[in-house]
Structure 1
Amino acid sequence: MMVNAYPTLVRRLLLARGADPEDALELSTISHPLGKQGMLGMKEAVDWIAYASSQRWPVTIVGDYDVDGACATAILRKGLEGLLPVTSIVPNRLTEGYGLSESVAARISPETRLVITVDNGISAHDGIAAVKARGMAVIVTDHHLAGPRRPPADVIVNPNQPGCPFPWKSTCGAGVAWYLLLALHLTHPEWVGREMLEETLDLVALATVADLVPLERNNRVLVANGLRRIRSGRINPGLSGLVAFAGLELEQMREQDFAFKLGPRLNAAGRLADMQTGIRLLLSRDAENIESWSRFLETINAQRKEIQAHIEREAIQITESLQDTGDPVICVGDDGWHNGVVGIVASKLKERYQRPAFVFASAGDMGQTAQGSGRSMDGWHLRDALVLVDGRTPGLLNRFGGHAMAAGLSLPKVRFEEFRRNINAVSLEQVPGGRFQKNVWCDGPLQAAEMTLDMAKAIEQAGPWGQGFPEPLFENDFMVVTSKTIKNGHWKLQLHLDEIMGGAAHGGLAACKAAAGKAASSPSLPVDAVHFLNGREVAQEPPPVGFRVRAQYRLQVNRWQGREGLQLMLEQVLPAPAPVVMPVPHESRSTRPIAAGPSLTNGI
């Protein structure tokens, strides 16, 4: 589809998100890493690498154990191999925690002369000092928010460091690493060719979506170009192994597949095993190794699901059993929980209870440390809140870092209750009454003529959609034509728009059954819909035939065994007491504030 051929509805959706419907998102239009609007420190980083290359310095890349860190490591290794001797290490999540710590510094080969961090380093003061004490130079490439002190690195490249003029602050760690290669290409094209840059765009796209950074225009360009390469079959060989096990077709790949299919499989290595396996997979061109490592990650991911489900059930039981203390922020933990999945469980609790959540597990020697992960709600900056807690109670937090919506931290386990009190006190100060609310952006109702397979395809092609650039969400009243439960209690429905039901809209069960019986010949057929339960439904059972519902949904292309069909992905289903009201243009529709629920503290 040509960009200027978008339907009127799709053009309106793009404009509502501040995007130009005529924008083709070409790679040639991305911001440059050098110059007045380039990244602070980028020229110096290129100069250091040029000098290291002339001296044949051994280089060690220090990565991270998540998708962003693994992709960033693989991107930089692919770009620097052949230029100078390069290797990489990744912290052990269970024993070393996040980033370039002193223990990680001690593991760097003594032959190394230059250390480059990716997706970490901006808060690694002690680790960088330890590296410098060993006579090594350090380049930090990161995207996390900088603290009040600058780490003692030789060069820092981070769009979020003070004074950096680069306009796209949401560039992920892999994006920053890719921009370093682009700067090398622009300065020394004989070292890093254009094809090398384009070969790694699929990893940038995967990392950008999986790390949940906002899809500002520059990120949309990177993701769109990564998807184009994948759909044309020019995919990273290792990534193709994950695609095969996920049962995906390259030509139909979507940005959601990064988040829900490929990201979790790659992440499983860092959660339960060693992310070096994931990095080796992304660097490999050997078919046998790719198949073996992909199968290993598939197995590990299945184990991760089992562990996560068990911990999630226990966390919910704790939530439901504890007496109400008025805490607006969830803080739970248990010695037996695996800290490789606490972030996922925190996300699940946040969504279920519509409140910020911290989940902890034991870590460190003798299990005396509580290592946790937090997830926040709209309007409450999690890392800033931790900065305030740290400033008020020095020594309470061993380490912390993160973003507005997610953060990681560790603290002495004996001070868990002290942390719970402090983080809740901060939340009560910053959020009136501690009443958090989730703002749901809704694009209003669709007309019957707009609810088509072609429209679903047009919306899909207008992407990428994601964090900060939400996939369109619509709201209509429907009559339930058929209703059943499927695996794990999820709902499978057929729905008719009220406006096209005619007399059936008021005819109850008999009229709906008649409509269902005439579906094959009716010019306005019922549409298939699915709803995956999330714990916040009004009822656990699907609505009965003849019931009138108001649903928020996304138009989706359902592809199965070579066939395509329209499907509604239901996000929320409620009884429909009144007609849909058109929203005010460009304004958000939000849920009511969620009152503070029961205390979620327990002795870790």
Structure 2
Amino acid sequence: MDNIIKRRPLSSFNNNISLPDTLHPVIKRVLAARDINDVSELDYGLQNLLPYSLLLGIDKAVNLLYEALSKQARILIVADYDADGATSCALAIKALRQMGAKNVGFLVPNREKHGYGLTPEIVKLALTGLVPDLLITVDNGISSINGVEIAKQHGMRVLITDHHLPGENLPKADAIVNPKQNGDNFPSKNLCGVGVIFYVMMALRARLRDNGWFTNQSEPNLANFLDLVALGTVADVVTLDYNNRILVAQGLRRIRADRCCPGIRALVQVCEREQKTLVASDLGFYLGPRINAAGRMDDMSHGIACLLSENDFNGREHAQLLQTFNQERRLEEAKMQVDALEMLDTLGTIESMGLCLLDEKWHQGLVGILAARIKDRLHRPVIIFTYDKENKIRGSGRSVQGVHIRDVIDTIATQHPGMVTYFGGHAMAAGLTIPRSQFEAFQQAFDEEIRKYLSADDLQGVIFSDGTLSGADFNLDLAKQLKMLTPWGHNFPEPIFDGEFELVARRVLKNKHLKMQVRPLDGGPQLDVIAFNIVDTSWPLNVSRLKMAYKLDINVFRGLTNLQLMANSVVVNYD
């Protein structure tokens, strides 16, 4: 089924007089469609960051950390096993060490052995060595009621830093910093884990500065860690609101200027990206997946080690290992996708609005990726389950606009006691564990709940377009301006345009990508087009024109830089 192309509303454009006339008309149109009404909203200076003082619990968190530094207490950081968790952990370790902490270690759960977050198993593992005085969670902990209780029983103080949605009850930690907790007045609820710990470190440094801490030691420049903040923020696919765009823009500037950590520099090289022109999508589609591959295929400690590398040699060693993990991930994911598509073919017409699939042989680290692939294919919420342990199965879900999947699971857990053992997550992604015996019942409950939010008309892909381009707009300069204008990302999407074209030539690359030459029907230059994961096997023999939704892209090949269009959708059968 072809995607529907809808034009973004431009209701505010005609009255948008605050954007300067020096901006290209297409850029003004794109910004207006994203509610950017003043050029000041493109000022990504650090002075525009929201103040840390607005975060609930920040003073208690700083008190804990100040006391731990003053006493040289043993500090253990418990991280999540994704890119956000890895960058959060690396930032916390680097910042605390530069502020004088001498006893800082980290522990990251193994996905299959320990499960997610500060579980009782992770606390027991922490007890096998020197018992930490202060335990800090990064990118997890807000749902770790039992884990925090056990840690406290063994004399640990606990600081939770997280950004996931809290449940009805909070863990009894000594301090909690999470912009999503009730009563928090921090205006941006879209900080990810690394953003939260960055704010905590800013508040700690201010306290230390006020107390004369840096009289006898150098004061760290926390801006040096913004490369980590940018990577974690983009990789975690949080909304790029203004505050997050500041963090990402500042991090990208430092990476482009080669003022980044050796691990990120090595990842850029392994991914064969151009460091001087790196953009947010490079973090999301290249660097982030390689960090995540460590947690999916082996152990996230490898990803953290890469980000903690102190020289380029070690950085390259770790980055190459992450590259190997990512290659293994791709192969295993491809096998799982074949299995899932065969399963869907067996089911025939998919009637479920909310789809659950189970194969107990699927890799636990890859079910989330598979859920995203099937969601994109069928345009509905999807949860992929696989075997966990002790007659339980573990699922990872991905959702569509208009359906808050974590709240859906919460509703099911409330209405059906005993059906859901554990759950957590966001609006668009969630994880859960259920008894194997409850799978069929959960399948039905999930579908019934999703039907409250979606209708049959919603089960079609929609591409939001920023309109058409004139022949004169197809130029390399405009493509470069759009690319470097701002960090693009979740809920602040990179511009997509649409139009009709004459098809001049086409060929298939590697049996799965389409390379074309086209010319705008209303006049303009001949253009190169690349359409990834689109082939022409179902096209009529004599195709002379087509409709496309596309991005302006920059192709660098053999030292030459040219404009190309990157097609998101191609339609050939239309009136």
Task: Note if contact 1:495-1:527 (Cα within 8 Å) is conserved in structure 2.
Answer: yes
CA separation of 1:488/1:54 partners in 2, compared to 1, >3 Å: closer, same or farther? Answer: same
Partner of 1:64: 80
Q: What is the CA-CA distance between 1:388 and the residue it aligns to?
A: 0.3
Q: Which of 67, 90, 100 pairs up with 1:51?
A: 67
Q: Which of 407, 410, 413 pairs up with 1:384?
A: 407
What are the Cα deviations for residues 453-475 of structure 1, in whole angstroms up to 9, with x where unaligned?
11101101112111010110101
Q: What is the CA-CA distance between 1:251 and the residue it aligns to?
A: 0.1
Q: Give TM-score, length-normalised by structure 1.
A: 0.87
Which runs of at least 4 in structure 1 moved beyond 6 Å after TM superposition?
542-545
- Whole-Å Cα distance in 2 between the matches of residues 33 and 438 of structure 1? 39
Task: Note if contact 2:539-2:572 (Cα within 8 Å) is conserved in structure 1.
Answer: no
- Whole-Å Cα distance in 2 between the matches of residues 556 and 194 of structure 1? 42
Q: How does 1:52-201 map to 2 (within 5 A)?
A: 52-81=68-97, 82-108=100-126, 109-189=129-209, 190=213, 196-201=221-226
Partner of 2:24: 7
Q: Which of 283, 297, 305 pairs up with 1:280?
A: 305
Q: Which amino acid aligns with 2:503?
A: V
- Whole-Å Cα distance in 1 between the matches of residues 58 and 313 of structure 2? 38
What are the Cα deviations for residues 173-212 of structure 1, in whole angstroms up to 9, with x where unaligned?
0000111111112222346977531111011101111100
The worse-fitting range, judged by mean Cα deviation, of 322-331 and 290-299 is: 322-331
The alignment yields a C-alpha RMSD, in angstroms, of: 1.9
Task: Note if contact 2:378-2:460 (Cα within 8 Å) is conserved in structure 1.
Answer: no
Partner of 2:351: 326
Q: How does 1:291-302 map to 2 (within 5 A)?
A: 291-302=316-327
CA separation of 1:179/1:333 partners in 2, compared to 1, >3 Å: closer, same or farther? Answer: same
1:17 pairs with 2:37: no
Task: Note if contact 1:485-1:542 (Cα within 8 Å) is conserved in structure 2.
Answer: no
Q: Which amino acid aligns with 1:75?
A: L
Q: Which of 352, 355, 362 pairs up with 2:387?
A: 362
1:533 pairs with 2:533: yes
Task: Note if contact 1:378-1:439 (Cα within 8 Å) is conserved in structure 2.
Answer: no
Q: What is the CA-CA distance between 1:406 and the residue it aligns to?
A: 0.5
Q: What is the CA-CA distance between 1:430 and the residue it aligns to?
A: 3.1
Partner of 1:557: 554
Task: Note if contact 1:46-1:183 (Cα within 8 Å) is conserved in structure 2.
Answer: yes
CA separation of 1:556/1:232 partners in 2, compared to 1, >3 Å: closer, same or farther? Answer: same
What are the Cα deviations for residues 371-425 of structure 1, in whole angstroms up to 9, with x where unaligned?
1100011101100000000001111111110011100111111211111011111
Q: Which amino acid aligns with 2:517?
A: Q
Q: What is the CA-CA distance between 1:257 and the residue it aligns to?
A: 0.7
Q: What is the CA-CA distance between 1:488 and the residue it aligns to?
A: 3.3
Q: Which of 38, 45, 48 pairs up with 1:26?
A: 45
Q: What is the CA-CA distance between 1:28 and the residue it aligns to?
A: 1.5
Q: How does 1:491-502 map to 2 (within 5 A)?
A: 491-500=514-523
CA separation of 1:540/1:576 partners in 2, compared to 1, >3 Å: closer, same or farther? Answer: closer
Partner of 1:219: 244
CA separation of 1:419/1:541 partners in 2, compared to 1, >3 Å: closer, same or farther? Answer: same
3-state DSSP of counterpart to 2:314: helix
Partner of 1:241: 266
3-state DSSP of counterpart to 1:185: helix
Q: Which amino acid aligns with 1:105?
A: V
- Whole-Å Cα distance in 2 between the matches of residues 526 and 194 of structure 1? 56
Q: Give the percent of matched residue pairs that are identical in Structure 1 and Structure 2.
A: 38
Gaps of 5+ in 1: 501-523, 579-604
Task: Note if contact 1:363-1:370 (Cα within 8 Å) is conserved in structure 2.
Answer: yes
Q: Give TM-score, length-normalised by structure 2.
A: 0.91
Q: What is the CA-CA distance between 1:288 and the residue it aligns to?
A: 3.2
- Whole-Å Cα distance in 2 between the matches of residues 217 and 543 of structure 1? 46
How many residues are paired up? 546
Partner of 1:597: none
Q: What is the CA-CA distance between 1:110 and the residue it aligns to?
A: 4.1
Q: Which amino acid aligns with 1:222?
A: L
- Whole-Å Cα distance in 1 between the matches of residues 121 and 157 of structure 2? 18
Partner of 1:304: 329
Gaps of 5+ in 2: 1-18
Q: Which amino acid aligns with 2:23?
A: Y
3-state DSSP of counterpart to 1:488: coil
Task: Note if contact 1:63-1:88 (Cα within 8 Å) is conserved in structure 2.
Answer: yes
Q: Which of 500, 504, 508 pairs up with 1:485?
A: 508
CA separation of 1:232/1:5 partners in 2, compared to 1, >3 Å: closer, same or farther? Answer: farther
Task: Note if contact 2:380-2:400 (Cα within 8 Å) is conserved in structure 1.
Answer: yes
- Whole-Å Cα distance in 1 between the matches of residues 21 and 285 of structure 2? 30
- Whole-Å Cα distance in 2 between the matches of residues 300 and 435 of structure 1? 37
Q: Which amino acid aligns with 2:526?
A: P
What are the Cα deviations for residues 40-83 of structure 1, in whole angstroms up to 9, with x where unaligned?
00111011111111121101000010000000000001011132
3-state DSSP of counterpart to 2:191: coil
Task: Note if contact 1:101-1:124 (Cα within 8 Å) is conserved in structure 2.
Answer: yes
The worse-fitting range, judged by mean Cα deviation, of 71-80 and 187-196 is: 187-196
